Structure 1
Amino acid sequence: MSPEDRQKALERHGLTEEPDGYVLSLRGFQAGMRTARALRDQGDEEAVRMLALDASDPLRWEFARIIQISAFTSYIHRLGI
């Protein structure tokens, strides 16, 4: 995967890469929350707990960030990289 393709994949997942790790954009947060709602609907207890938190709670952002990092990683692996 070229650096340009990697950057596009990061942007698609609402992530940027910083020296300290991945940072989630608003777009990434929204995508992560959509996934969290789908997980909640499937009975995922962690998603239920996270979505019960106030929208301004930093843990919700962290949960969405983890979801998006996982989605990005899965995407890269599906490409065989």
Structure 2
Amino acid sequence: MRGAQEALERYGLTETSDGFALTLKGFQRASRRALDLRKQGDPEAIRVLALPPDDPLRWEYARCLQIDSFVSEVHHSEI
């Protein structure tokens, strides 16, 4: 369980009763990943990055990116 908690912190996520919440650190990390995706021509990243940083949709996109990365790491490392 310790490994999973460390991974959550690394991705800027916290567990809530409804699932996962994104921290500011997680938003910043996801924003950097979205920039990379935009450079690769990802249409969703292009649309979302055109939104203001405080737009709830941009935060939800960032949260989804971080959850995806977290789940992938947990799955591959079998934490």
Question: Shorter-normalised TM-score: what interval?
Answer: over 0.9
Q: List, as ranges, runs of 4+ consecutive aligned residues in structure 1 with deviation greater than 2 Å.
A: none
Separation in 1, partners of 2:78, 2:12: 21
The answer for the alignment partner of 1:62 in structure 2 is 60
Q: Does 1 or 2 have the higher relative contact order (CA < 8 Å, sep 6+)?
A: 2
SS in 1 for 2:14: strand
Q: What is the Cα deviation at residue 77 of structure 1?
A: 1.2
CA RMSD between the two structures: 0.9
The answer for the alignment partner of 1:5 in structure 2 is 3
Give aligned pairs, total. Answer: 79
Query: Which residue type is aligned with residue 70 of structure 2?
Result: F
The answer for the alignment partner of 1:76 in structure 2 is 74
Separation in 2, partners of 1:4, 1:51: 33
Separation in 1, partners of 2:78, 2:7: 14
Query: Which residue type is aligned with residue 64 of structure 1?
Result: A
SS in 1 for 2:78: coil
SS in 2 for 1:35: helix
Give identity over the alignment, percent: 54
State TM-score, norm by structure 1: 0.93
Q: What residue ranges of structure 1 are gaps of 5+ in the alignment?
A: none
Separation in 2, partners of 1:54, 1:6: 31
SS in 1 for 2:52: coil
